Structure 1
Amino acid sequence: MDTIVVGAGIAGITAARLLHAAGQRVVVLEARDRVGGRIWTDRTAGFPVDRGASWIHGLTGNPLTGVVAALEMETHEFTVGSFQAAGRPIADYDESRRLLDHEAARRWAGDVDTADALLERIVAASGPGESYATVAERALAATGWEPRRADRVRAFYRHRTEEQCGAEAEQVAAHALDEDAVEGDEVIFPGGYDVLPRALAQGLDVRLGRTVTAVGRTAAGVRVDTEDESFEAARAIVTVPLGVLKAGAIEFTPALPGAVAGPIARLGMGVFNKVFLQFPGRFWQDAVYAIRRHGRAGFPWHSWYDVSAVSGKPMLLTFAGGAWGREIERKTDEEVVSSVLAALREIHGDSVPEPVAHWITRWGNDPHALGSYSYVAVGSSHDDHDALAEPVDGVLHFAGEATCGREPATVHGALQSGHRAAERILGSRLCLTELTRGVTPVR
């Protein structure tokens, strides 16, 4: 065996496919009963519900754009970019639950732009141990705004870190969102995102239901142990989520060097959960992307996205990130749904019916993920993402979104990391067109 890939998420499948195309003997070991990892499309309702990744974040210059086109995947434009303040039709409600008119919404978006310009300069001058909360407060203080006006932007910043990092602003490093930019439109997938990993896994030796417990480095290469079997190869690529690495679920022998173990310890693993509600009919405004509550009224639920275009049914999606995301994992489905409905009814009153179906994710409780995606925690830096990917003793490689310093917490970041690992193993540049060569589109 040439290479063992641990994990059949997009990073693992990308690396395995490129190595396989280059003539290597590759086996992929996956703990789940499916490929895709944190790309997970639930089809039990007769239409796709993406419980994990949903978007391509920015089509411009994105390696996923060409891959998706080659696989003939259906897309639907749904640009929300970086938890944006404006730019798309959003129904904004103030603290008294009154809909902002066009001029009020314009002023609100202008306030975010003003504060962001201040924040950018303050972040650039911040120290390595400062949090996003600290620099955000500094920027808001510099505006001189009255409390309610500042509260709206403060709440926006807190929701931004919850969504982008799955963590609280106090946990996130001041520089954590430096890479947080979206170029071009964003799209979602009416046919489900899992079409991507299922298509790319064609022809690969993927062993499902194999939970890796140990990876040993030897003079001959590597030995990878599952609960029932052992595999030996010249090298291994470990692509499990950062949460699994942080939990020590895989024993590495010898122990990982500090250059890799350090980033694992310092980087954070966020929790960002989804709540989908399918309704018997539409009660919200036509032609809006999202419903949003401002200021202190926007806790714990603040935004609902109209994802009816995917399901073909009247459906809203809301999110729970950071501490609230972890808290809902301890609640029953009924408690979570009731809480979301109560917030919606504060805006739309009795016009909000009982949902006919719901879907709730709990990524923090998932033993094969232990979180949703990585983030730059206070005390870490973007360099830690890339340091985590440095080869160990020439035989052990790491890949996955947490190892991509430019685009962490994204599917395209995971894809790029798998591409990088394959190139390092082969010692040559690889064209991504090889990824889809000979692949039959999946429906």
Structure 2
Amino acid sequence: MTTYDTIVIGAGMSGVTAARMLADEGASVLVLEARDRVGGRMNTDRTAGFPVDLGASWVHGIAGSRLWDLVQALDIPTIEYTVGSFQAGGRPIENFDGEGRPMDAASTTQWVDDVASADRLLVEEIAASSPGDTYLDVTERALDRSGFAPERIDEIREFFRHRVEEQCGAWIGDLDAHGLDEDAIDGDEVIFPRGYDELPRRIGHGLDIRVNSVVTRVARADDGIVVSTENGEFSARSALVTVPLGVLKAGSIDFVPPLPDTVAAPVSRLGMGVFNKIFIQFPERFWNESSYVLRALGEAGEHWHSWYDVSAVSGLPTLLTFAAGPFGRRMQDLPDDEIVADVVAALRALYGDSVGAPTAHWITRWGHDPFSNGSYSHLAAGSSHHDHDEAAGPVDGVLHFAGEATWGDEPATVGAAYYSGHRAAERILGHEVDLAAFAAGIRAREQNPEN
């Protein structure tokens, strides 16, 4: 049996990043991937002749972002689209009130001011919160202090709930009071007209990646690691596990001996959310050309509440909406036609007969995916930001973990996956890896593939 320097489990962004950095240092690296493709939760569907990002879509905040530096170094085109942070204002948004009526400029200004005022109170309540408090607890305290009329409170309450669902994939009552602390976004956000999975595919090109290799067991021994798959066993001096948190929480991989509490306890405390996407194309645009988002507030937006105009990617009128948290889990059990009909009915309640019959759609069901068991991690009630980083290990100096759930500064993002892969590679190598040199090495190999 060949013994590798390192076996990397998972060929998502963190896995291919670490594997490439290790291989660039001359290490023998094997990457085992359960799926039939590279990218993990970066999954681009190109069957329609244009890319549809079914998983990750955005770089959330390009100012000071090392992920953005990588995108630029690889000369990957992007489109500025700064609404992924679920803003109340700041960009052209078509707002509808709780009765489904369009809001005029004065009403919109009042709404944005209301959210800003409530958010200031919310920051104070979070700072004063006690261990065990949920995000629902602190939002209700902030709303109680707002002094707003009941109908205005109802609309902000609904907005807070949806903001948590979109950013965490969780019910507001399941999220820790500090659950959105790390969600500050600096600078514009961008999407990818060629598909986001270009990034992990280019990083991983040329690596020894075995797809359709489902890992069932990771055993630690005195002389290293033995990894068992449905296709046989592999040995290495060290291993890096980059599977999503949902896979770890499900116990899909048997760790022998069991993981110590230093890693197992953070994994058990953190939550794995569900965030599903529904793309719908229409024969013609019925919303304003300049609008980024269509948003129904209050009762009108109880379920389907925000639609994002992503037409720039395909050149065809396309809206993207989300089903997240408990609603997302219920939705993914329904057939496509029921989901599409429900979304269209919600749009027609706002726009009437101008909403044409859809011409195409794409729907995700990440909660049903056995290789992720959800969309991304969140700070569940009872967990802390430290749990993310502590989940990275290492264990016995030979077993490491990476992925968005293991990076405390900005979990649930591609940036977190990238940075955690970089950290894991440095820990395994025992020295720093320069990110600029890493990007330059990718470009050099592409330009001189025979070297």
Secondary structure at the counterpart of residue 66 of structure 1: helix
Q: Secondary structure at the match of 1:234?
A: strand
Does the 8 A contact of 2:99 with 2:299 survive in 1? no
Which amino acid in the other structure matches residue 372 of structure 1? S
Task: State the alpha-carbon separation in 2 of the partners of residues 233 and 296 from structure 1.
Answer: 56
Equivalent AA in structure 1 for residue 321 of structure 2: T
Distance 1:104 1:69 in 2: 40
- The answer for the alignment partner of 1:18 in structure 2 is 21
| Cα shift at 1:339 | 0.6
2:116 counterpart of 1:116: no
AA aligned opposite 1:165: C
Which structure 1 segments of 5+ residues have no match?
none
Inter-partner Cα distance in structure 1 for 2:299 and 2:25: 55
Shift, 1:284, TM fit:
1.1
- Structure 2 counterpart of 1:294: 297
* 2:396 counterpart letter in structure 1: D
Rounded Cα–Cα distance in structure 2 between residues aligned with 1:191 and 1:20: 27
Deviations 1:152-194 (A, max 9, x none): 1101100011011000000000000011110000000011101
Residue of structure 2 equivalent to 1:36? 39
Asked whether the 8 Å contact 1:166–1:272 carries over to 2, the reply is yes
Deviation at 1:81, TM superposition (A): 4.5
Structure 2 letter corresponding to 1:302: H
1:4 aligns with 2:7: yes
Q: What is the CA distance between 1:134 and its match in structure 2?
A: 0.8
Tell me which residue corresponds to 2:282: 279
TM-score, normalization by structure 2: 0.97
Tell me whether 1:385 sits opposite 2:414 in the alignment: no
CA distance in 2, matches of 1:389, 1:439: 26
What TM-score does the superposition give when structure 1 sets the normalisation length? 0.99
Inter-partner Cα distance in structure 2 for 1:382 and 1:52: 24
Q: Note if 1:160 corresponds to 2:163.
A: yes
**% identity of equivalent residues:** 59
- Shift of residue 285 of structure 1? 1.4
Residues 364-383 of structure 1 aligned to structure 2 (within 5 Å): 364-383=367-386
Measure, in 2, the Cα distance between the counterparts of 1:60 and 1:188: 15
Which residue is 1:434 aligned to?
437
Q: Give the 5 Å matches for 1:32-431.
A: 32-431=35-434
SS in 2 for 1:2: strand
Provide the secondary structure at the position in 2 that maps to 1:126: coil
SS in 2 for 1:436: helix
Q: Amino acid of the residue matched to residue 308 of structure 2?
A: Y
After superposition, what is the alpha-carbon deviation per residue over 1:310-341, rounded to whole angstroms, capped at 9, x for unaligned? 11111000000000110111100001001100
Q: Are the equivalent residues in 1 in contact too, given 2:170–2:274 (CA < 8 A)?
A: yes
SS in 1 for 2:160: helix
Structure 1 CA distance for aligned equivalents of residues 169 and 301 of structure 2:
17
Residue 219 of structure 2 contacts residue 257 of structure 2 at CA under 8 Å; is this kept in 1? yes
Count of residues in correspondence between the two structures: 442
Whether the 8 Å contact between 1:275 and 1:319 is mirrored in structure 2 is: yes
Report the CA distance between 1:297 and its aligned residue: 1.6
Shift of 1:436: 2.3
Residue-by-residue CA offset, 1:196-217 (whole Å, 9 max, x unaligned): 0111011211111101001000
Counterpart residue type for residue 252 of structure 1: F
- Structure-1 separation of matches of 2:435 and 2:441: 13
In the alignment, the residues of structure 1 paired with residue 247 and residue 299 of structure 2 have an alpha-carbon distance, to the nearest angstrom, of 34
Task: Write the letter of the residue equivalent to 1:105.
Answer: T
* Amino acid of the structure 2 residue aligned with 1:180: D
C-alpha RMSD of matched pairs (Å): 1.0
Contact persistence 2:143–2:153 (CA under 8 A): yes
The amino acid across from 1:190 in the alignment is: P
Q: Please identify runs of 4+ aligned residues in structure 1 that moved more than 3 A.
A: none
- Residue identity matched to 1:337: V
SS of 1:44's equivalent in the other structure is coil
Unaligned runs of 5+ in 2: none
Cα deviations across residues 79-105 of structure 1 (Å, max 9, x unaligned)?
014211000000000012221112211
> Does the Cα contact within 8 Å between 1:237 and 1:399 map onto a contact in 2?
yes
Which residue type is aligned with residue 45 of structure 1? A
Deviation at 1:435, TM superposition (A): 2.7
Within 2, Cα distance between the matches of 1:414 and 1:339? 34
Q: Which amino acid aligns with 1:213?
A: T
Please tell me the residue identity of whatever aligns with 2:334.
K
Give the superposition deviation at 1:434.
3.2
One-letter amino acid matched to 1:102: A
Cα offset for 1:438? 3.5
For 1:163 and 1:196, locate their aligned partners in 2 and report how far apart those are by CA, in whole Å.
24
**Aligned-partner Cα distance in 1 for 2:224–2:179:** 36
Contact 1:18-1:434 within 8 A present in 2 as well: no
Task: Write the distance in 1 (CA, Å) between the matches of 2:437 and 2:368.
Answer: 36
